[in-house]
């Protein structure tokens, strides 16, 4: 049995991805001269955690992340709901970025501060559909994987 077939496993991965994203965002906020190397040291592991967990989540949510021609009506509805929720989340993240831009405008080297924060928030926004699906999808039906688990060809 794979690690991500249950809702609780997918939710653990989603929490790990969100923690990774928050570490990257905190690193982007600290990306200035006195704390530069500390911020870079935070962003590396945080980026590995968030991108790795998001990649596993995208694979584990399965078909709702696929192209429209490959999905049935229920899966299309799930995908559309996930993208709509992610769009709302990205709008919220861009408001956070705007507020940070107003703060960073008075700082020296404001361009690099704002670009690093925008990049961190953008990466977070790209994983929102997979995070939403991971949180909302029910457990997979064990009967769908019985043949695979027993080694019997399907």
pLDDT for position 94 = 95
Closest by alpha carbon to 28, among 136, 151, 116, 137?
Answer: 116
> Length of the chain, please?
154
High-pLDDT (> 70) share of the chain, %: 82
At 146, the pLDDT band (50, 70, 90 cuts) reads: low
DSSP percent split of the chain into helix, strand, coil, nearest 5 = 80, 0, 20
pLDDT of 147 above 80: no
What per-residue confidence (pLDDT) applies to 1? 43
pLDDT on residue 81: 92
Full-model pTM: 0.79
Distance CA 123, CA 33 (A): 24
Sign of CA dihedral 88, 93, 96, 101: negative
Q: Using CA atoms, how far apart are residues 77 and 137, in angstroms rounded to an integer? A: 12
User: In the chain, what are the domain boundaries?
Assistant: 7-62+71-136
CA dist., res. 105 & res. 148, Å (int):
56
Query: What is the band of 59 on the pLDDT scale with cuts at 50, 70, 90?
Result: confident
Other C-beta atoms within 10 Å of 9: how many? 17
Note the pLDDT of residue 130. Answer: 87
Comparison of pLDDT for 107 and 117, the residue scoring more: 117
- Rounded to a whole number of angstroms, the distance between the first and last alpha carbons of the chain is 16
Distance CA 14, CA 92 (A): 19
The CB density around residue 28, as the number of other CB atoms within 10 Å, is 24
What does the pLDDT average to over 108-134?
Answer: 89
Confidence at residue 111, expressed as pLDDT on a 0 to 100 scale: 86
How many of the other CB atoms lie within 10 Å of CB of 3?
11
Say if residue 61's pLDDT is above 90: no
């Amino acid at each position: 049995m794979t690690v991500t077939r249950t809702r609780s496993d997918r939710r653990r991965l989603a929490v790990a991805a969100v923690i990774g994203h928050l570490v990257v965002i905190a690193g982007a906020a600290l990306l200035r001269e006195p704390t530069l190397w500390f911020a870079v040291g935070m962003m590396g592991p945080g980026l590995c955690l968030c991108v790795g967990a998001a990649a596993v989540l995208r694979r584990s949510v399965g078909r709702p992340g696929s192209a429209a021609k490959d999905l049935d009506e229920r899966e299309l509805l799930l995908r559309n709901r996930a993208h709509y929720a992610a769009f709302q989340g990205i709008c919220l993240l861009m408001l956070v970025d705007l507020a940070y831009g107003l703060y960073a405008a008075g700082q020296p080297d404001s361009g690099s501060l704002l670009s690093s924060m925008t990049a961190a928030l953008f990466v977070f926004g790209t994983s929102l559909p997979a995070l939403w699906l991971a949180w909302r999808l029910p457990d997979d039906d064990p009967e769908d994987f019985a043949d695979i688990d027993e080694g019997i060809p399907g």
